Structure 1
Amino acid sequence: MKTLLVVDANPIISALIGGSSREIFFSKTYRFATAEYTVEEVRGFIPYIAEKSGVAEEEIEKALGLLPLKVYSREDYRDKITESERIIKGIDEKDLDILALALKLKAPIWTNDRHFENIREVRVVKTQDLI
């Protein structure tokens, strides 16, 4: 059975620019989940990615749609929001949704953000751990 990972924005962005995350997304080892909020955060970076890569924004949007991500709405993990707020308060509150989803799914978070290193309520893995 494939291991479920809850994916933060930075591995998704890395995959879109051709980083090592892309290989992980298409490996046979893992399943991937993320929050709608995270997808919207990534979409905010599409113009930057397009400018730096020389690839049209529409192509990057298509590539985002091809990543094997199950996207959850806030309604799916609403019951974990309060717990997530308590844990992440004063750390990085923009990651509230991804933490709440990980708590709900009882799955590790795949991120390269250092601030997650201080969170003990969920397991955190970095890209280098998955290669």
Structure 2
Amino acid sequence: MMVVMDASVLISILISASGSKRKLLFSSKWDVIFPGRLLLEVGKHWKEIRDKSELSDEDLESSFSLIRKQVNVIPLDEYRSNLPGAKDVCPHMKDVEYFALALKLNCPIWSEDKLIREQHNAKVLNTRELLELPGLIDA
């Protein structure tokens, strides 16, 4: 299974050193992807993430490096052609790249965002729903 992770999920994983989101991310049973723009989003919120995580810059960078090894960062050129269709169905323009990527690869979006979850044009799963999928978590 493949899933597009949104910024709020990634930031939550960076802030919390443990938890179900991190466990899901590090499962070997699926592929987690995100648009390259998400790296900029993390950079934009780095200080806030560091403060909430109570990690040093060095430890946070180490954690982020481990996470990046678990995900595939997809460049814009690979889903650019899906942006127009994604703009038509995406509730927030800031989330259009997640939708374009999900539409391109025909996979769900991993998000806790209520507005993203309420639309019906792309499949969206939250952490609880992912945890309920059989065989997704390593034993």
User: What TM-score, normalized by structure 2, do the two folds share?
Assistant: 0.84
Runs of 4+ in structure 1 off by over 4 angstroms are none
Question: Residue 2 of structure 2 aligns with which residue?
Answer: 4
Percent pairwise identity: 30
Question: Residue 73 of structure 2 aligns with which residue?
Answer: 71
CA distance in 1, matches of 2:12, 2:53: 12
**Structure 1 unaligned residues grouped into runs of 5+:** none
Residue type at the aligned position of 1:59: D
CA distance in 1, matches of 2:87, 2:56: 37
Secondary structure at the aligned position of 2:79 is classed as helix
Pair 1:40-2:25 in alignment: no
Q: Is the 8 A contact 1:14 1:20 kept in 2?
A: no
Residue-pair matches, total: 127
Pair 1:22-2:31 in alignment: no
**Structure 2 unaligned residues grouped into runs of 5+:** 132-139
CA distance in 2, matches of 1:55, 1:42: 15
Q: What pairs up with 1:85-96 in 2 under 5 angstroms? A: 85-88=87-90, 91-96=91-96
Q: Is the 8 A contact 1:108 1:124 kept in 2?
A: yes
CA distance in 2, matches of 1:48, 1:121: 32
Per-residue deviation, residues 9-36 of structure 1 (Å, max 9, x unmatched): 1111111122421111111222100001
User: What TM-score, normalized by structure 1, do the two folds share?
Assistant: 0.89
Q: Which has the higher contact order (CA 8 A, sep 6+)?
A: 2
